[in-house]
Amino acid sequence: MKAKLLKFALVIVVAIVSVVNIFNAQKSVQLSDLAMANVEALANNEYNRPFFSQCPTCEVCRGEVCICESGLDQFFEDAQRNCSALDVMLYVMPDC
């Protein structure tokens, strides 16, 4: 009699654990607004557009650039005017 009761209790426990696992697997994941914006940007192929939109007819700027940290803003302003995209290895020196 005890063996049958023990088997029955074991079946009930396995059934409850199975139902809880199925319930947890069906929960939907809520993404933050930022994550949804990133998904939409990737879906809209945003990253295949030119890096700088101010000069869509310019060439891609390539090469290695060594620049002082204080001149970084000017570098990017110049790049926006003269480059359609940047493909550079940028070395930034802290104190020139």
Instruction: List the domain boundaries for the chain.
Output: 55-96
Q: What pLDDT does 71 receive?
A: 83
Tokens (6 digits) for 82: 């003269």
Which of the residue ranges 37-41, 55-59, 79-83 has the most confident prediction, judged by mean pLDDT? Answer: 79-83
For residues 59 and 51, what is the distance between their CA atoms, to the nearest angstrom? 11
Residues 85 and 57 sit within 8 Å (Cβ to Cβ): no
Q: What pLDDT does 16 receive?
A: 93
Q: What pLDDT does 32 receive?
A: 82
What is the model's pTM? 0.39
> What's the pLDDT tens digit per position in 40-77?
766 665 444 445 555 566 777 788 888 888 888 888 88
Residues 81 and 53 sit within 8 Å (Cβ to Cβ): no
CA-nearest of 79, 25, 29 to 54 is 79
